[in-house]
Each structure stands twice: as structure tokens, then as C-alpha cells.
């Protein structure tokens, strides 16, 4: 029947003022009208105090972190609400006994509201973690604990709570998140109440919040946005008494947008509507393994966050939680075994997803190539051993840029998908892709998704779901996005309101098309599999080749120099330990009971890998973290030295001790310098001399320092030689000398290179062979200092404008320390501000590597007592070289970056990461700077720089303050970079000889091995990086077969063919290529010498920058390698 349309109209009509109506929505919850709006109806009952909630507390002494069982043995005292607890980082244990009124049985839910103002965890009385608590009133607030129904019916309930005096983001002293911590913060127990929440009022709040988000997030001219505003306005107008019937009426109004009966469908709401969701929701809880809190606090955060997510899985069946970082799983396994068992069940049920495959979410720039291998090796093997599965998706959402070596390592660790998002923080250019093929330096690709939501801590709101598509960079090739939601950085994870909101958003999209549909319940792998299928194996996706350079946080290549040094030294020390320990197990005499120290090696690696977390190694954590990190490095150095000593006891028939830098009190017979690299080398060895002036029997001391405390000997090693032969001042040695022209004018030179220091600056580096001046005319090189005041992220950032504040530093005093002929050294000093800088500048009579036609290194050994704030110390050389690119070592290869600023993409790379070298070359000649512990470099035009020290004050107020010792070297070389020996020279510069003292009375030293049994012949571009025992070997059984793992890589970016020769006294049963996890790929054809006099051989082919892992299966101890067989090792005299 047609509606009657009146003839007359005396009303003023309906006309709303949309912006005022929209503003009105903020008054329905909280704010000035909280006592009369919906917020006043959220709870039906609230009780507290003795007899209802009885509290007892025990405060752990100092900063100790006792576990549940230990805490329960302590004496608790009575406590009450409003008490304060502290100071910062202390832990307090509560026993909470509740008496629940019998009348409350009728209510849908009864809760304990416990708000200590800080983080806490609720345990059952038998020690099972139940959930985390986040006190305070931030967006991550979570203070409610649902009391089980059976306890409500019983009328009593007890729990144990551990509260920790820190917030989700530590305890910043002035409220600024990255400020140094306030070490004396106290927290108040704001509530310990029994409450009955009005569940329908909470659901109405979630309804209204979703409507409000639709209004604020969608375009103002869309049908859905206007409908949501009309509906929200109607809900507000309908609010009267706020009783059950009124709330039911308002919720019915909201169904105009969500659909009739939507809530009764529960998780089934995701089964309706679009068959293919554009936005896939996955819950995630990013827990920084250390940042604004130390490692010990992270262990608690992990248990709090994960127990909460497991609890949510019981109420929201669609909830899927993705979690990375094997180290955090191991902590949980060790400290919270009952929770770990619950977690294992959720992994098995498919609700708790393992991602990442790494030991921790490591920094993506600074770890060595082998360290990145170990991140995946230790991570994947841990997941396999505990859960019976490995990860399929690599996951580094917060790392500060990513090396171009990563794709190859990800694929060879059993993964082909990769998730990240940090490049959304770029402060100059917008990264152009969302879903793409990321291709590394060797050509390997991974399928990469960089969420267009631009965060890994999404709050699961309408704006983020909409942004997932509106901000997508390549919808033409793929139109899906991953919504990674849940509170993070400090942990926490998803909140119930997020899961409720996503249900409502899906209900909306089941009836409207203005918002992309969101799905729940699938895995990260399913998301990537759909992309892989739809893009025809990635062929329809864009490609990004090379590193994922973050145009932000460039200061992290330099911040906290001692941590960078600890990382580099421990990586190399572990490499040496594994090599020597492997040789010891191969060549040990029958009488030896030596066992490969696999457990100790693993423990050391795990400590190093832990410190490579992306807020620890970059130098962006609070000072407490670096106390922990330095202790871990100290333990690694100590344990590695013990392992080296034990292995050398096997390999050397004579006792020996490691030789330090101090003057010896005893009188050793001699010194032995061992080369643990596969390269030939000629080096000047510095050995301490005894106070009586007597010289050791070996090696021959050719030169003494001017103070008589140090002697210098020349040693030489052939390729693959461990033990040296002595070298004399023969024609191949290039005698070094120092000439003092005046008190501030010195010349260091050899027959091939001459360097002049005048008026405290380097005025000339001259190649005497080619007659070539390397310093630009009219310019000088040396130390420079810059003002370093980033726009906000102090420890993280150095901004491009710092380059406008350059101040050259000139050395003010000099003295000659060594005059040659083996080593010429001058000691130079400069005082700047409150800091003292001493640099030993040396030139040796030996080439940079084992090639005798190479130029020597110009070495700089610095000792800096640093007390500056917001200053940046660098070393620079203005070179008479012209090229558009400079070359920087990365993991298992190198990258080249522009030296110009044609575009903003070029200009953004004003500070970059390099490992052991940075090289600037043209046809015919080049100069490299070698580094033994620094990672920041730049090449601006023709000025090559290495970054040495920063001085940020947040989040560590004392970053880099104090004494530093570090070295770098300048390497002039004939030929361009690819013609040079820079990678090998840098390798050797970072691999000091192991000098050991031989006791008095020993005239000769014997060794069971003089050369490495594994040697490469052919292409010079193939490097042998790692020699270790196989992960699956039985190290306790003397008769078990041994496997040896060799890791090799191509270092120059081209194809290479090499012949791997295996010494005749190492009997190989079979050889295989494996992946990085040591799973067999293929068997290799092993060529043996049928007469038994020559080595076994393997032919290996490499593409540019390829990493290859070879597994050798050796005969057991009863086989032909037994010591009494004709193949047994024969001791070799290596010292006289």
C-alpha cells in the first residue's frame, strides 16, 4: 500500500549538522560525562577489602627474580590496597584469597580486578601461569581475571600473583618512552577488587566503538560511513536508564549496520560473506628480547603474554597466535614448564603458530654471515626438537634494514616466505612495494610481504583494516594484506576488544562493500601460499634486488662500540674454536680422551646470538642491557679460551699457554704463532719480552720496541698452513722506517708506500712504485668530529644534516715507538673536549696478505677515553679517485652503493653498514679501509669514511662513555676492487695469530697437524668460512662415525670452480652437499688417490655469492684413520 504523502507541512524538517553529530560520538564513553554515559553502567557490583579479597605479599630482595617454587617457600605478610611497592625492577609475590558472595552465582561473569600499576602475572596455586596483567590506564591495560565458574559456585578462589615494578615499556624517568630508566620508581596497588561486569554493556561498548571507527575511518561521502553515523547517533539517543532492557534496545539498533543476529554466529561470522578475504588477520605479540628492560624482564614478559593468548584461545576459537624467537621458547621451557606444556598442545592443535625460524629476531645488518646461519640453524633445530616441525616463514618486522644476503640464507634454512615492515619508517623515500619477490646478492629470491598497515602492533580497528588495502602499493599484482595485530614491543599481544572488533568488522563487510573483508583462523603460511598460487609462483609480482636499506636508524651501525667489538671478536673466536676442536677430534692420538665440546660451543653461540637481538647489538637499549651483554661476551671469551687451550693440548705435544700483551714475569723458551685461516700470510708478530732482556729461542726477534718491552719477529705461512716458518729480512720483506722531520712532521714508509703526517693531519699517501699520490691535492685526512643531534631517536639515528658540522681534528703530540725495519710506529695524541685520543700509527715490512707484491697496511690502533655527549667521531680520507660507487662487505659477499646524490634514493645512503672493509676504487687503483670492530661507513664523493664513536644519551644516558680500544687500517692497492685482495686482507686483519708461550727448557715443539686437511685449489674467489663437526654426531661414543661440515662461499660476485682437497690421512667415506640445517641435498662424487699417497678431491661449482655447505663423513676410530695405521698423523717439528 502506498504511503500517504501529506499535502501540508508545517514542520522545520530534518537537517543535521554532520560534523557536530560526529563529534558528539566521543561523549558516549568516558570523558566528562563518564558518570552518566555508558561508562557508568559497565559494572554491576564491586567489592574489596579483608573478608572479600585477602592479600598477602612477599617482596623479593634486590633485583632478584625468584621463580614460583622458591617464592612459595618464603614468609608472606598481610597487605592491602593503596600500598606502594618498588623500587624499579623489583618483584613482589602476592597470595590472593577471594570469598565470593553466593548471590553472584546468577551473573554471567565474576572477575578479579588486580591493578598494581605495573606488569604482573597470575598463577594457579600449583604454579601454572594463567595470564598476564598490565596495570595502569594505557591502551594495553589488562587487569581483569575471569574467575572459573566452579569457583563462583563454590564461593572461594585463590591465586598467586607476581608483580614486577616496571611498565610495559620499562620505567622511563620523564615519561618519554626512550628516556633512560628511573631506577627508583614505585607503583601503587590501585585495585584488588571482586567485580561483576555488565557483559551486555561491554558488548554494547564494543558495538559503539566499531561504529565510531567506521565513522572516523571511512570516506565521508560513502553510504556505510553515513549509515554508521546515523546508527551511532540513534544508539546515543536511545540511552536512557542503561538497564538490561535499554542496553538490549541499543544493541538492536546497532544491528542495522552489523546485521540481524550477527553475534549468535560467533566465529561462524567469518564463514559468511566474501569467500576470499582481502585482509588476513593474525595475532602477534612482539616482545623485544631486551630494549627498555633487561633480559630477565623479557623472560617474565614472555610467560605473561603467551599465557594470556592461550587463555584467549579458549574463548575465541578463531584466534590464531603467531610467535617467533626460539630463545624465548627456551626460557619458557626452563622457567615455566607447566605453561610450556600447554603451549605445546596449542601448537599441536594449530592455534599457536611457530614463525621466524631464528634464535631471536636479530639485527639484519651487523651479524656475520655465519652468525646469521646459526640464527636459523639453532632456531629451526630447536623448533624441530620441541614441536616436531620447522618454521616456513622468516619473520623480522622490526630490524633496522636487511642485508641482501638474507634471501639465500632464508631459502637454505627451509623457508621461502618473509615478512617485514620496518621500511615503512623510511624518513626520505617511500618504499614502492607491498608484496614482491626479494632477490638477494646471489640471485636467490623469497616471497616478501611488507604489511601496508605499516605496523606489527595493529589494534585491529577499522582504520587499519581499510589501510591494508588503501595503502597497498601493488594491488595490480596482488590485492591481499596481512593484518598483524596485538600489543607489542613490550609484549601483551591481542586483547579481547581486538578479537571482538574484528568479528564486528567482518559482520559489517558481510553486508557492505565499502570496507575490505577480513578473515581469521588461517596461518601466515596459508596467506603466503595463496599469494604464491595467485601470482603464478611469484612471476606476476614486482622484484626488489639487493638490500632492504632502512632510511632511518643509521646511527645503530656505531652506537655502543664495545658491544660491536664483543660481537665481532666472539664470532671469530667461535670460528677458531670450531676449527681447532674439529682438528683435535680428527688427529687426536689413541691415548687421548678428548671430546668435541659441542655443549660448550652451543652455549657460547646461543649467548652471541642472543646479543644480536635487534635492539641490543645496534646499541639502542638501556644501560642495564649492556651490563648483561658485556657479561655474556666475557663468559664466551673465557669459555672459548678454555676450549682452545684443551684443543691445543691435543694438537701440540708440548704444553703451551696463551700469550697476553703484558710483560712476561717468567722466561718462556719461545713462542708459537698459529694461523687458523686457510690463507697464506706474512706477518710481524709482536711478543712480550721478559724483564731481564733475554730473547726467546724462537722465533727470532729481529727488532725491539724503543722501550724494550716488546719484540718483533717475522713469520710466514704458506696456503693452508697452521704453523709458521720463520722469515728473515730477505728480499721479499719490505723494511719499514719512520723519519721525524720535525716535532709535528713524520714520514712512515716502506719501499712501496710512503705516508706523511704534517701539522697533525695526513697530508700524503704516496705509491712509490706507481708514482701515484692518493690524497686529493690541497686536502688532508685524519680524524673528524661532527655534531650529532638527531631529530628524536637518539641512539638510533644520525641525520643527514650532521654532515654540515664537520670539524677536523689535528694530532698535537707525537713520539716514535718503533723505528723498523719490521715495524715503524708513531704514537699520536689529540685532546678534544673532555676526551683523550691516542692512536698508534704503524706500517709493517709485510704485505697486507700473503701476496708479496701487495702494499702493506697502514694500521691505526686507537685508545680513546671518551667523555663527549652528542658528538660523532670518524676517520676520513679525501682520495684522488673517481667512481660512482663504493664497495662494502656484507655477509658472504659485498654490496655497492652510490657516492653521489643524484636522487633522494642516493642521498638517503649517507651512512651505511659494512663489515670488514669498505673500498673505493677506479681502474688501476683503489684504497680500502679495513675494520676489526666498526660497522658504519660512508663514501661522500671521493671522501671515504669509517665511523668510530657516537655519544647518545637515550635510552642509555652513558652510552659509549669511558675507555675504548679499537683498530682500523688503510689498504692501498693496485688494480680495481675486483682485481685486488681486499676481502682476503680484511679477513686476515680480523683473524689475529694465536700466539702461545712455550715453557722454558723446550727446544722443539711438535704438532700432529701442520696444515689444514681441507684446502681449496683453483678459483681465488672461493673462501672456506667454517669448519665444524656435524650437528647430529654422537660426540660421546669413540667409535661413532664423525662428520665434518665445511661452509664455503664465493666472495667476489662471479662464477667459480674450486677443487676441495682432503688430506690423505683423513679418510672420507662419503661427501654430500647440505642445506644450512645440514639436511642432505645431494651426494658428491669423491675422487680418491688409488695409491693412497695423495688427497681425496671434490669438484665444486659456485655462482656469484653462493654459499655452499659440504658434509664429509669420516671413518670411525677403528677404521683406516687409527693412529697406528699407515695413514696416522705424524708429529711435525714446528719450532726449534
SS3 labels along 1096-1107: EEEEEEECCCCE
Mean pLDDT (whole number) for 464-479: 97
Segment holding 233, helix H or strand E:
helix 223-238
pLDDT at 665 over 70: no
Give the tens place of pLDDT for each residue, 480-496: 999 999 999 999 999 99
pLDDT at 948 over 90: yes
pLDDT for res 691? 66
The partner residues of 1101 in beta bridges, in order of sequence, read: 1057
Residue 341: band (very low, low, confident or very high) from pLDDT cuts 50, 70, 90: very high
List phi, psi (to 5°) of 428.
-130, -60
pLDDT at 1120 over 50: no
Give the tens place of pLDDT for each residue, 94-105: 999 999 999 999
pLDDT for res 668? 81
Dist CA 176 CA 182 (whole Å): 11
Residue 666: band (very low, low, confident or very high) from pLDDT cuts 50, 70, 90: low
pLDDT for res 1005? 73
Greater model confidence, 982 or 1005: 982
Q: For residue 64, give the 3-state DSSP assignment.
A: coil
Mean pLDDT (whole number) for 571-579: 98
pLDDT at 371 over 90: yes
Taking CA 962 as the corner, what is the angle to CA 959 and CA 965, rounded to the nearest 5 degrees? 105
Catalytic sites, residue numbers: 398
Q: Is the pTM of this model over 0.95?
A: yes
Give the tens place of pLDDT for each residue, 374-396: 999 999 999 999 999 999 999 99
The partner residues of 838 in beta bridges, in order of sequence, read: 829, 863
Give the tens place of pLDDT for each residue, 40-93: 999 999 999 999 999 999 999 999 999 999 999 999 999 999 999 999 999 999
Which triple of cell numbers denotes residue 743? 716535532
pLDDT for res 1009? 80
Other beta carbons within 10 angstroms of residue 1034's beta carbon come to 11
For every residue of 916-954, DSSP letters joined together read SEEEEEETTEEEEEEESS--EEEEETTEEEEEEE----S
Cα Rg of the chain, angstroms: 33
Other beta carbons within 10 angstroms of residue 839's beta carbon come to 22
pLDDT for res 732? 64
pLDDT for res 1092? 67
pLDDT at 852 over 90: no
For every residue of 562-624, DSSP letters joined together read HHHHHHHHHHHHHHHHHHHHHHHHHH--TT------HHHHHHHHHHHHHTTBTTTTTS-S-HH
Taking CA 973 as the corner, what is the angle to CA 911 and CA 565, rounded to the nearest 5 degrees? 45
Mean pLDDT (whole number) for 760-764: 97
pLDDT at 297 over 60: yes
Mean pLDDT (whole number) for 1105-1112: 98
Q: Is the peptide bond before 821 cis (omega within 30 degrees of 0)?
A: yes
Enumerate residues 6+ apart whose C-beta is below 8 A from 781. Answer: 761, 762, 765, 775, 875, 876, 877, 878
Dist CA 929 CA 917 (whole Å): 6
The count of C-alpha atoms lying within 13 angstroms of the C-alpha of 136, restricted to the half-sphere facing its C-beta, is 18
Residue 692: band (very low, low, confident or very high) from pLDDT cuts 50, 70, 90: low
Q: For residue 447, give the 3-state DSSP assignment.
A: strand
Give residue 54's Cα distance to chain centre. Answer: 45
pLDDT at 1132 over 50: no
Residue 989: band (very low, low, confident or very high) from pLDDT cuts 50, 70, 90: very high
Q: Is the peptide bond before 699 cis (omega within 30 degrees of 0)?
A: yes
Amino acid at each position: 500500500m502506498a504511503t500517504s504523502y501529506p499535502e501540508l507541512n508545517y514542520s522545520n524538517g530534518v537537517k543535521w549538522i554532520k560534523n557536530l553529530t560526529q563529534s558528539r560520538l566521543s561523549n558516549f564513553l568516558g570523558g566528562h560525562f563518564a558518570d552518566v554515559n555508558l561508562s557508568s553502567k559497565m559494572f554491576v557490583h564491586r567489592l574489596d577489602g579483608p573478608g572479600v579479597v585477602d592479600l598477602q605479599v612477599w617482596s623479593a630482595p634486590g633485583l632478584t627474580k625468584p621463580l614460583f617454587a622458591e617464592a612459595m617457600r618464603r614468609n608472606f605478610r598481610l597487605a592491602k590496597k593503596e600500598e606502594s611497592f618498588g623500587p624499579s625492577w623489583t618483584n613482589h609475590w602476592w597470595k590472593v584469597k577471594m570469598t565470593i558472595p553466593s548471590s553472584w552465582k546468577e551473573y554471567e561473569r565474576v572477575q578479579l580486578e588486580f591493578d598494581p600499576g605495573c606488569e604482573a602475572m597470575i598463577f594457579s596455586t600449583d604454579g601454572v601461569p594463567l595470564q598476564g596483567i598490565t596495570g595502569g590506564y594505557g591502551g594495553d591495560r589488562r587487569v581483569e581475571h575471569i574467575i572459573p565458574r566452579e569457583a563462583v559456585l563454590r564461593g572461594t578462589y585463590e591465586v598467586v600473583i607476581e608483580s614486577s615494578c616496571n611498565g610495559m615499556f620499562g620505567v622511563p624517568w620523564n615519561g618519554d618512552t626512550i628516556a633512560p630508566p628511573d631506577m627508583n620508581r614505585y607503583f601503587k596497588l590501585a585495585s584488588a577488587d571482586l567485580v561483576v561486569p555488565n557483559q551486555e554493556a561491554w558488548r554494547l561498548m564494543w558495538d559503539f566503538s566499531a561504529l565510531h571507527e567506521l565513522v572516523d575511518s571511512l570516506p565521508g561521502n560513502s553510504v556505510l560511513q553515513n549509515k554508521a553515523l546515523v546508527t551511532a547517533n540513534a544508539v546515543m539517543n536511545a540511552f536512557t536508564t542503561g538497564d538490561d532492557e535499554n542496553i538490549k534496545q541499543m544493541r538492536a539498533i546497532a544491528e542495522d549496520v552489523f546485521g540481524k543476529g550477527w553475534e549468535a554466529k560467533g566465529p561462524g561470522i567469518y564463514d559468511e560473506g566474501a569467500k576470499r578475504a582481502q585482509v588476513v588477520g593474525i595475532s602477534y605479540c612482539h616482545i623485544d628480547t631486551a630494549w627498555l628492560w633487561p633480559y630477565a624482564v623479557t623472560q617474565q614478559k614472555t610467560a605473561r603474554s603467551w599465557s594470556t593468548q592461550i587463555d584467549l584461545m579458549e574463548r575465541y576459537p578463531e584466534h590464531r597466535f603467531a610467535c617467533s624467537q626460539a630463545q624465548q621458547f627456551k626460557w619458557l621451557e626452563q622457567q615455566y614448564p607447566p605453561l610450556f606444556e600447554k603451549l605445546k598442545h596449542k601448537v599441536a592443535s594449530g592455534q599457536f603458530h611457530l614463525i621466524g625460524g631464528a634464535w631471536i629476531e636479530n639485527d639484519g645488518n651487523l651479524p656475520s654471515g655465519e652468525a646469521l646461519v646459526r640464527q636459523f640453524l639453532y632456531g629451526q633445530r630447536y623448533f624441530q626438537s620441541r614441536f616436531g616441525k620447522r618454521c616456513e616463514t622468516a619473520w623480522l618486522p622490526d630490524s633496522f634494514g636487511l642485508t641482501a644476503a638474507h634471501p639465500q640464507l632464508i631459502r637454505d634454512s627451509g623457508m621461502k616466505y618473509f615478512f617485514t615492515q620496518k621500511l615503512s619508517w623510511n624518513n626520505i623515500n617511500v618504499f614502492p612495494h607491498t608484496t614482491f619477490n626479494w632477490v638477494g646478492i646471489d640471485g636467490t629470491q623469497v616471497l616478501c610481504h611488507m604489511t601496508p598497515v605499516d605496523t606489527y602492533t595493529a589494534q585491529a580497528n577499522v582504520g587499519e583494516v581499510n589501510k591494508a588495502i588503501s595503502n597497498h602499493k601493488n594491488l595490480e599484482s596482488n590485492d591481499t594484506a596481512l593484518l598483524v595485530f596485538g600489543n607489542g614491543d613490550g609484549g601483551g599481544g591481542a586483547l579481547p576488544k581486538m578479537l571482538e572488533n574484528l568479528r564486528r568488522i567482518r559482520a559489517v563487510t558481510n553486508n557492505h562493500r565499502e570496507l575490505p573483508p577480513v578473515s581469521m583462523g588461517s596461518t601466515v603460511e596459508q596467506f603466503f601460499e595463496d599469494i604464491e598460487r595467485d601470482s603464478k609462483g611469484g612471476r606476476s609480482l614486482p622484484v626488489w634486488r639487493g638490500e632492504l636499506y632502512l632510511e632511518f636508524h643509521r646511527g645503530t651501525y656505531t652506537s655502543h662500540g664495545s658491544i660491536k667489538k664483543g660481537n665481532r671478536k666472539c664470532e671469530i673466536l667461535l670460528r677458531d674454536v670450531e676449527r681447532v676442536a674439529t682438528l683435535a677430534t680428527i688427529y687426536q692420538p689413541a691415548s687421548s680422551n678428548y671430546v668435541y665440546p659441542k655443549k660448550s660451543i652451543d652455549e657460547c653461540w646461543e649467548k652471541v646470538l642472543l646479543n644480536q637481538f635487534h635492539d641490543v647489538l645496534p646499541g639502542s637499549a638501556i644501560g642495564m642491557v649492556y651490563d648483561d651483554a658485556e657479561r655474556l661476551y666475557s663468559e664466551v671469551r673465557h669459555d672459548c679460551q678454555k676450549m682452545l687451550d684443551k684443543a691445543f693440548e691435543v694438537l701440540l705435544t708440548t704444553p703451551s699457554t696463551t700469550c697476553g700483551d703484558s710483560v712476561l714475569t717468567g722466561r718462556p723458551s719461545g713462542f708459537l704463532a698459529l694461523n687458523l685461516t686457510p690463507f697464506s700470510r706474512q706477518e710481524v708478530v709482536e711478543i712480550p719480552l721478559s724483564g731481564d732482556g733475554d730473547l726467546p729461542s724462537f722465533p727470532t726477534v729481529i727488532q725491539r720496541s724503543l722501550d724494550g718491552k716488546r719484540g718483533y719477529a717475522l713469520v710466514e705461512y704458506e696456503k693452508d698452513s697452521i704453523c709458521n716458518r720463520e722469515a728473515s729480512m730477505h728480499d721479499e720483506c719490505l723494511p719499514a722506517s719512520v723519519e721525524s722531520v720535525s716535532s709535528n712532521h713524520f714520514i712512515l714508509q716502506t719501499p712501496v708506500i710512503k705516508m706523511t703526517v704534517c701539522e697533525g693531519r695526513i697530508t700524503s699517501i704516496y705509491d712509490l712504485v706507481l708514482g701515484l699520490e692518493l690524497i686529493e691535492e690541497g686536502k688532508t685526512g685524519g680524524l673528524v668530529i661532527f655534531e650529532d643531534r638527531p631529530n628524536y631517536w637518539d641512539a638510533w639515528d644520525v641525520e643527514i644534516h650532521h654532515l654540515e658540522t664537520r670539524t677536523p681534528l689535528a694530532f698535537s703530540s707525537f713520539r716514535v715507538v718503533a723505528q723498523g725495519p719490521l715495524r715503524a710506529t708513531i704514537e699520536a695524541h689529540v685532546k678534544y673536549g673532555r676526551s683523550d685520543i691516542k692512536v698508534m700509527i704503524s706500517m709493517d715490512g709485510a704485505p697486507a696478505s700473503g701476496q708479496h707484491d701487495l702494499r702493506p697496511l697502514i694500521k691505526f690502533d686507537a685508545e680513546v677515553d671518551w667523555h663527549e655527549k652528542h658528538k660523532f667521531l670518524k676517520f676520513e680520507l679525501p682520495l684522488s679517485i673517481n667512481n660512482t660507487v663504493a664497495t662494502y662487505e656484507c655477509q658472504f659477499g659485498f654490496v655497492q652503493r652510490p657516492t653521489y646524490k643524484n636522487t633522494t634514493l642516493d642521498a638517503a645512503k649517507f651512512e651505511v653498514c659494512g663489515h670488514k672493509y669498505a673500498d673505493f676504487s677506479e681502474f688501476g687503483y683503489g684504497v680500502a679501509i679495513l675494520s676489526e670492530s666498526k660497522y658504519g661507513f660512508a663514501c661522500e664523493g671521493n671522501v671515504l669514511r669509517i665511523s668510530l664513536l657516537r655519544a647518545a644519551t637515550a635510552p642509555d644516558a652513558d652510552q659509549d662513555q669511558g675507555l675504548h680500544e679499537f683498530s682500523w687500517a688503510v689498504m692501498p692497492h693496485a688494480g680495481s676492487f675486483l682485481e685486488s685482495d681486499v676481502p682476503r686482507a680484511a679477513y686476515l686483519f680480523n683473524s689475529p695469530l694465536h700466539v702461545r708461550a712455550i715453557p722454558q727448557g723446550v727446544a722443539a715443539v711438535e704438532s700432529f697437524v701442520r696444515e689444514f686437511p681441507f684446502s681449496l685449489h683453483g678459483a681465488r674467489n672461493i673462501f672456506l668460512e667454517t669448519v665444524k663437526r656435524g650437528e647430529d654426531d654422537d660426540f660421546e661414543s669413540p667409535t661413532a662415525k664423525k662428520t665434518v661440515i665445511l661452509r664455503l662461499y664465493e666472495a667476489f660476485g662471479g662464477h667459480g670452480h674450486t677443487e676441495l682437497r682432503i688430506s690423505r690421512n683423513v679418510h672420507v667415506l662419503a661427501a654430500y652437499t647440505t642445506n644450512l640445517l645440514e639436511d642432505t641435498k645431494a651426494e658428491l662424487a669423491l675422487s680418491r688417490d688409488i695409491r693412497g699417497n695423495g688427497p681425496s678431491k671434490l669438484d665444486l661449482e659456485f655462482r656469484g655469492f653462493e654459499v655452499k655447505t659440504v658434509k664429509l663423513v669420516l671413518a670411525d676410530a677403528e677404521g683406516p684413520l687409527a693412529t697406528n695405521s699407515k695413514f696416522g698423523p705424524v708429529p711435525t717439528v714446528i719450532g726449534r
